[in-house]
Structure 1
Amino acid sequence: MQPYAACYAGHQFGHWAGQLGDGRAITLGEWDSGNEQTWELQLKGAGRTPYSRRADGRAVLRSSVREYLMSEAMHYLGVPTTRALSLVATGDQVMRDMFYNGNPEFEPGAIVMRVAPSFLRFGNFELLAARQENENLKNLTNWTIQQYFLHLQGEDKILLWFKEIVARTASLMVEWQRVGFVHGVMNTDNMSILGLTIDYGPYSFLDDYDPDFTPNTTDLPGRRYAFGQQPSIAYWNLGCLASAIAPLLSGTEEIVAALETFEDIYSTKYQSMLGNKLGLDKVKPEDIDLLVALEDMLTRIKPDMTIFYQLLIALPIHPEPEEAVLNHFKDSFYRAPEGKEQELFLNFIKTYQERIQKNSIGPEERITRMQKANPRFILRNYLLHQAIEELERGESTLFGKLQEAIKEPYSGKWDAFMVKRPNWASQKAGCSMLSCSS
């Protein structure tokens, strides 16, 4: 082997951070699977690299378990992602200050082997642009297209390549919003040029629906990377990539136009996705008000996102007494709606029932469509926290169950986990509060 660590740069929390690089990731090489697919094999947490700066290049069990399980969970949810091949405990004790607040502690060390066709990031191209190494920038871009975008040919292949990255990134954002995933640290060095979810740190799924939710303590109070901000941040990050590769083009007009396609691509796919979650035959212009009302209602009522949609699947198509409707959804409420909020909720349900009665598809197809779009199992932070605590005690029962449950997120086999976040987890470190070291 000839292991290496990649050098790249990035914008972190909206500011240019300069040179960064793989501080604790070491690529061992590539494996050719024999079907025109190669996999880059990378160890995370195996030790220092030239880009570790003052850090030790190690990873702890806590963060390694989180990456190992979540990258696989996202794969089975149908979200583009890097994968995890193995998780190994090192037996070493690693010093970490979980919240950077002056309280370091020793934690057990671990290493994840993660795999992807490529771990290239927006930041790889930003670094060369910042250094004004245009020849290297051109070589890297052409090599990337030849390796991973071979279908793109001709004199305008760089522009076509950027357009495809825009489309892939827009699609990825739709998938994140579909399942309620919050990345937590969408710096440009954490954005994949293949449109994959990459670098699992202070992530979380939504429990209660909150567009302002960020699991990352480093992101407070600005909440730049909150759930509802993710699409706009993706667009901003794509703008940074566009600026980086602009020197390879004769002008900027075409790449700006390509960047601006993001909004239409995202909007069209997002509306279609919501239509599937609601079981609509097709999202028509007159349905936009319903989609807006849905998000307004969810934002104000803040039900458990996953449980709400599951209960919506089981909702009778014909209106029922208000008390029966509220009782049907009671297991999704962290706080039962009252007054105007209750009225808002009931009005939405009534409007929704009226709409699905106009569907051109039958009830079975509607339900099938909703079941495919709405997971029953998500890897909630409190479950991860409990599994990590067990592993640190030498137990692996919950870890084993989660490892199996993530493979069947749309089935009812693991409904024992389909419960709201417990009260104790609302302010528990490692559940609701995470940092970039997570």
Structure 2
Amino acid sequence: MNIEQIRQPFTDIFPGDYSGNPMQRNTPKVLFATIEPAGFDSPKLIAFNESLSQEIGLGKYEAKDLNFLVGNNLPENIKTYATAYAGHQFGNWAGQLGDGRAILAGEITSRDGKKTEIQWKGAGATPYSRHADGRAVLRSSVREYLMSEAMYHLGVPTTRALSLAFTGEDVVRDIMYNGNPQLEKGAVVIRTAESFLRFGHFELLSAQGEYKTLQNLVDFTIDNYYPEIISDGIQKYKDFFENICTRTADLMTEWFRVGFVHGVMNTDNMSVLGLTIDYGPYSMMDEYDLNFTPNTTDLPGRRYAFGKQGQISQWNLWQLANALHPLIKDEKFLEDTLNHYGTYFWEAHDKMLCRKFGFDELRETDEEFFISWQGLMQELHLDYTLFFNQLEKLNLASDIKALFENISYSALDDEKTGKLEDFIKKYEERLSSNTISKEESLSLMKHSNPKFTLRNYLLYQCIEEINTGKNGMLEKLTHALENPYEELYPEFSAKRPDIYDDTAGCSTLSCSS
């Protein structure tokens, strides 16, 4: 790989170098802290994303590149650093936070001019690690590596993963926060993005009253990542906020489309570019449930449940609006923009559902149809992804019970089957009013409904196998996630087996890494 091209896009623009104790948390009035990765004596490569490496301009992998992939023996031109940000966590102001396990290598520009930031996750402590060690374990690293790539191939805006490697160290973690810490294998993942800037970066500067630096940061973000904004003065900052709202709503719509539940939508985990970032206690939807949250830390309030992701994103945008107010200085504009967000999101959401069902357009009566569908899905405990896969197979000769009984997480008795049959009749009536052909309708469905989603139990199986030194399932899952709209592996297109219902890491997870 050509790592000599990596440069620092951020540190030469904003003031505040800090090179002190790497365990020191409070770094007031600065935006970043220089810090070197810990270094590891016995790393071992698990996976390398060759196509991504070529795309972003790093080229082919060579054995000597393993050192860079874990942060060892870096060339002199690379000055590594972590950034400071703040955030609202579970609805409460948490003050200064920062990259506790992430260290930025810098930015690389590909031949076509595309800029990509490169970041290690799990390469050691930073000034923002608080009392943690900055390491990551294998299970969390595998989950981030695979799911970020799965989301990319599903067509969902996301960070991506370049590599996954063992560090050769063991790391102590209490996976369920129940007083049972255990040694686990350490790992480092390199993740990439156009930018890792979060809502929390702007919240920190605003909270500190560093309005000039806040303005510098916003100008930097617009100049580098929002070329569509050509206005100036206060209007530029208004356009910036409106664009973030639109990108965020579009991202939430995509999460709902594929059944993704983030699990920890704190403002410090929200991208100002509308990307999915920070793959922690996430889950793809198995049984459809608007109240499902995969994060044990989110119980019992279920703040970040699947069905609440739209309204939580709006709440998070309110916090960003507060942070940007010193630049925009227009309360009515911010309030009107945020009120419009709900209208825009739900219209985008319902249009997305129309495509999943194969409808030609959104009609007034469709909202009632969608509400009845949601109730049916929850009452019958139907699998979200598989329901739409089966719907594509529907025809006049279909035995409804036979078509859907194997995708229910509870038995379909006569009463439930009757409700399902009534719904299918309503669905067929709605389809018959389409102004597009059956072939066009089916094409909409096939492009909107994945055949494969990376379920937690599959990740669990993969992690268990990698722990034994085998990579067969990793390779198989990688092939499947790169082709999510094809049924390459029928064994993956099945509901979660019962044996994994109460297994930690399958149905629910903690924030522990």
Q: Deviations over 1:96-144 (max 9, x none)?
A: 1112221111100110000001000000000111111111111111111
Q: Which residue of structure 2 lines up, in the alignment, with residue 375 of structure 1?
A: 450
Q: Which residue of structure 1 lines up, in the alignment, with residue 487 of structure 2?
A: 412
Aligned partners of 1:310 and 1:286: how far apart in 2? Answer: 24
Aligned partners of 1:187 and 1:340: how far apart in 2? Answer: 41
Aligned partners of 1:160 and 1:301: how far apart in 2? Answer: 44
Q: Which residue of structure 2 lines up, in the alignment, with residue 276 of structure 1?
A: 355
Conserved 8 A contact 1:9-1:124: yes
Q: 1:106 aligns with which of 183, 195, 201?
A: 183
Aligned partners of 2:86 and 2:104: how far apart in 1? Answer: 18
Q: Which residue of structure 2 lines up, in the alignment, with residue 427 of structure 1?
A: 502
2:432 matched to 1:364?
Answer: no
What is the TM-score normalised by the length of structure 2?
0.83
Aligned partners of 2:353 and 2:225: how far apart in 1? Answer: 31
Aligned partners of 1:341 and 1:405: how far apart in 2? Answer: 33
Q: 1:352 aligns with which of 397, 418, 427?
A: 427
Q: For 1:142-153, list aligned pairs within 5 A.
A: 142-152=219-229, 153=231
Q: 2:144 aligns with which of 67, 88, 92?
A: 67
1:340 is displaced (CA, Å) by 4.8
Aligned partners of 1:432 and 1:39: how far apart in 2? Answer: 34
Q: 2:384 aligns with which of 305, 329, 339?
A: 305
Q: 1:386 aligns with which of 440, 458, 461?
A: 461
Q: Which residue of structure 2 lines up, in the alignment, with residue 243 of structure 1?
A: 322
Aligned partners of 1:67 and 1:28: how far apart in 2? Answer: 18
Stretches of structure 2 lacking an aligned partner (at least 5 in a row): 1-77
1:35 is displaced (CA, Å) by 2.6
Conserved 8 A contact 1:376-1:415: no
Q: Deviations over 1:346-365 (max 9, x none)?
A: 21111001111222211211
Q: Deviations over 1:195-215 (max 9, x none)?
A: 000000000011100111111
Aligned partners of 2:328 and 2:471: how far apart in 1? Answer: 54
Aligned partners of 1:161 and 1:78: how far apart in 2? Answer: 24
Percent identity, aligned pairs only, is: 51
Amino acid at match of 1:222: G
Q: Which residue of structure 1 lines up, in the alignment, with residue 53 of structure 2?
A: none
Aligned partners of 2:330 and 2:360: how far apart in 1? Answer: 43
2:172 matched to 1:131?
Answer: no
Q: Deviations over 1:31-52 (max 9, x none)?
A: 0113332100000000011111
Aligned partners of 1:170 and 1:263: how far apart in 2? Answer: 8
Amino acid at match of 1:357: S
Q: Name the stretch that deviates more: 135-144 or 170-179.
A: 135-144
Q: Deviations over 1:387-414 (max 9, x none)?
A: 1011111111111100111000001212
Amino acid at match of 2:293: T
1:339 is displaced (CA, Å) by 5.7
Structure 2 residue matching 1:86: 3-state secondary structure: strand
Q: Name the stretch that deviates more: 186-195 or 352-361.
A: 352-361
Q: Which residue of structure 2 lines up, in the alignment, with residue 154 of structure 1?
A: 232
1:166 is displaced (CA, Å) by 0.3
2:208 matched to 1:208?
Answer: no
Q: 2:94 aligns with which of 17, 20, 37?
A: 17
Q: 1:197 aligns with which of 276, 283, 300?
A: 276
2:368 matched to 1:293?
Answer: no
Conserved 8 A contact 1:184-1:216: yes
Q: 1:57 aligns with which of 134, 142, 145?
A: 134
Q: Name the stretch that deviates more: 54-63 or 326-335.
A: 326-335
More RCO (CA 8 Å, sep 6+) = 1
Q: Name the stretch that deviates more: 251-260 or 304-313.
A: 251-260
Q: Residue 167 and residue 275 in structure 1: after superposition, are their counterparts in 2 closer, same or farther (change >3 A)?
A: same
Q: 1:120 aligns with which of 197, 201, 217?
A: 197
2:406 matched to 1:331?
Answer: yes
What is the TM-score normalised by the length of structure 1?
0.97
Conserved 8 A contact 1:377-1:415: no
Aligned partners of 1:319 and 1:18: how far apart in 2? Answer: 60
Q: Residue 319 and residue 291 in structure 1: after superposition, are their counterparts in 2 closer, same or farther (change >3 A)?
A: farther
Aligned partners of 1:89 and 1:138: how far apart in 2? Answer: 40
Q: Which residue of structure 2 lines up, in the alignment, with residue 230 of structure 1?
A: 309
Amino acid at match of 2:250: S
Structure 2 residue matching 1:348: 3-state secondary structure: helix
Structure 2 residue matching 1:327: 3-state secondary structure: helix
Q: Name the stretch that deviates more: 243-252 or 73-82.
A: 243-252
1:259 is displaced (CA, Å) by 1.6
Amino acid at match of 1:246: H
Amino acid at match of 1:206: M
1:299 is displaced (CA, Å) by 2.1
Structure 2 residue matching 1:173: 3-state secondary structure: helix
Structure 1 residue matching 2:163: 3-state secondary structure: strand
Cα RMSD between the aligned structures?
1.2
Structure 2 residue matching 1:218: 3-state secondary structure: helix
Q: Which residue of structure 2 lines up, in the alignment, with residue 47 of structure 1?
A: 124
Q: Deviations over 1:289-323 (max 9, x none)?
A: 2122111211221201111110000001x376xxx
Aligned partners of 2:212 and 2:114: how far apart in 1? Answer: 28
